[in-house]
Amino acid sequence: MTRPRALQVCPNDHPPFLDICRHHSAALAAAGCDTDTIFLGAPRGVRWDAATYLGIERGTRRMIDALRSHCVDRDDRMVVMHRYRAYQVATRAVADCPTMVTVAHEFGMFARRRRRWRQRLFAPNVAFAGVSQAVVDEMHRHHPSLRTLLLPNPIDIAAHDRARLGRADARATLGLEPDAFVVGSVGRLHPEKRPMLALDAFAAAALPRDAQFAFVGDGTLRAVLEARARELGVAERVRFSGYVADAARCLAAFDALVFASGPTEAFGMSLLEAMVARVPVVCADQAGPRSVLGPDGRYFVDGVADLTAELGRVAAMTDSDRAALCRAQRVRAEQRFSIAAVGSIYEQLLSTGEVRPAGAS
């Protein structure tokens, strides 16, 4: 019996979308599909040999024509489109596919009136998936008649387990002391990620005297953060690792991960990676990240004082409490975000053509 075919379209493979598309492709395979992944632009880093790159960075019309040409004589059962640009292009290039799903990875998909108008006119049968319930709810507030589903980003747990470095090797890779209590932050050094909040809380928290903070990632705030660390008197205990390829393999270096992103954060892949790696997460209590971490998360309210206190509580956890927290995080990742879990959503869509109600797990 011939396996159904699926088409996955994404504007580019800029991190984290290369891994996101790889994992969605694996979830589609778990649902029984042979998937063709198309990036509209050119490779941003190491090329994924299983994908096709159209190499068009600008010009919606050119992208539509190139994708239409690529898809001649295809018989796809499903088209998965990541972000609005892919939706713009794919719905015009392959409009006759029976099941078309656009994945919203950020807030604001239908904040613009023109987008709502175009969807009603040109794409009434397209379903729109939010990576978190918060994204789904926001789309509904702007566009109440929209067909929606909850489709979280999947993670290949087995692949992460194989790639992950042991604690000693991970710390050596990041230049950290082998026996210190280490708090980590993974992501861009950008105002939306609020790294200054994390740094200020680290400096004030009741942590072991030799505790270190590791920023894994680079960005516009690096120089400002370095100056702030000196001002706080903790510069010798703060490490700036810069951009680290496949940073998730180094998560075992941390005794805790701080995720300080504010209300614009729609999901949080580094949260999910830490859950799989069994690293306790201290997270800002925001709707997008809460959909990932769930009821077992260690949350702080929007402020330095609360994050400071929560870091101290995590550092003081007993081994058994820490193990229980990490176990709960890992189980949640396996049940809701694994390749098999997301594959089951795709399987339902393929078999019934119906959209899973938003909020179903």
Estimate to the nearest angstrom the gap between the alpha carbon of 111 and the chain centroid: 21
Tell which wins on pLDDT, 351 or 259. 259
CATH number, domain containing residue 185: 3.40.50.2000
Tell me the C-alpha distance between 293 and 267, whole Å.
Answer: 10
* Number of structural domains in the chain: 2
- How many other C-beta atoms can be found within 10 angstroms of the C-beta atom of residue 77? 18
Instruction: Indicate if the pLDDT at residue 360 is higher than 80.
Output: no
Both 269 and 166 in one domain: the answer is yes
**339-352 helix and 17-30 helix, angle to the nearest 10 degrees:** 60
Tokens standing for residue 85:
């640009």
Instruction: Indicate if the pLDDT at residue 356 is higher than 70.
Output: no
In a domain, 276, yes or no: yes
CA dihedral 13, 271, 31, 42 (to 10 degrees): 0
Q: What is the pLDDT of residue 354?
A: 63
Q: What is the pLDDT of residue 15?
A: 86
In a domain, 358, yes or no: no
Alpha helices (H) along the chain: 17-30, 60-70, 83-93, 113-122, 133-142, 157-163, 167-174, 195-204, 222-232, 269-276, 287-293, 304-315, 319-336, 339-352
Question: What is the average per-residue pLDDT within 218-233?
Answer: 96
Both 94 and 192 in one domain: the answer is no
Q: What is the pLDDT of residue 353?
A: 64
Tell me the C-alpha distance between 76 and 62, whole Å.
Answer: 22
Lowest average pLDDT, out of 69-73, 199-203, 340-344, goes to 69-73
Tokens standing for residue 144:
């109440």
Instruction: Indicate if the pLDDT at residue 361 is higher than 50.
Output: no
Tokens standing for residue 219:
């960005």
Write phi, then psi, for 183 (nearest 5 degrees): -105, 135
In a domain, 357, yes or no: no
In a domain, 361, yes or no: no
In contact, 298 and 282? CB cutoff 8 Å: yes
Both 235 and 96 in one domain: the answer is no
In contact, 255 and 181? CB cutoff 8 Å: yes
In contact, 346 and 28? CB cutoff 8 Å: yes
Task: Calculate the average pLDDT of the chain.
Answer: 93
Range of the domain at 265: 157-336
DSSP, residue by residue, 128-161 = EEESSHHHHHHHHHH-TT--EEE-PPPB-HHHHH
Both 129 and 198 in one domain: the answer is no
The per-residue pLDDT for range 159-169, each reduced to its tens digit, is: 999 999 999 99
Confidence of residue 359 (pLDDT cuts 50, 70, 90): very low
Query: Sheet containing 5-10: which strands, arranged edge to edge?
Result: 51-53, 34-39, 5-10, 76-82, 99-104, 127-130, 148-150
Both 66 and 128 in one domain: the answer is yes
The per-residue pLDDT for range 40-99, each reduced to its tens digit, is: 999 988 899 999 999 999 999 999 999 999 988 888 999 999 999 999 999 999 878 889
Tell which wins on pLDDT, 359 or 202. 202
Tell me the C-alpha distance between 271 and 129, whole Å.
Answer: 20
Lowest average pLDDT, out of 117-121, 177-181, 322-326, 352-356, goes to 352-356
Q: What is the pLDDT of residue 270?
A: 93
Q: What is the pLDDT of residue 358?
A: 45
Nearest to 45 by CA among 85, 10, 7, 16: 16
Both 125 and 274 in one domain: the answer is no
Confidence of residue 1 (pLDDT cuts 50, 70, 90): low
DSSP, residue by residue, 194-238 = -HHHHHHHHHHS---TT-EEEEEB--TTHHHHHHHHHHHT-GGGE
pTM of the model: 0.92
The per-residue pLDDT for range 226-265, each reduced to its tens digit, is: 999 999 999 999 999 999 988 999 999 999 999 999 999 9
In a domain, 359, yes or no: no
C-alpha distances in Å from residue 245, one per residue of 137, 216, 242, 335: 34, 10, 10, 27
Both 210 and 253 in one domain: the answer is yes
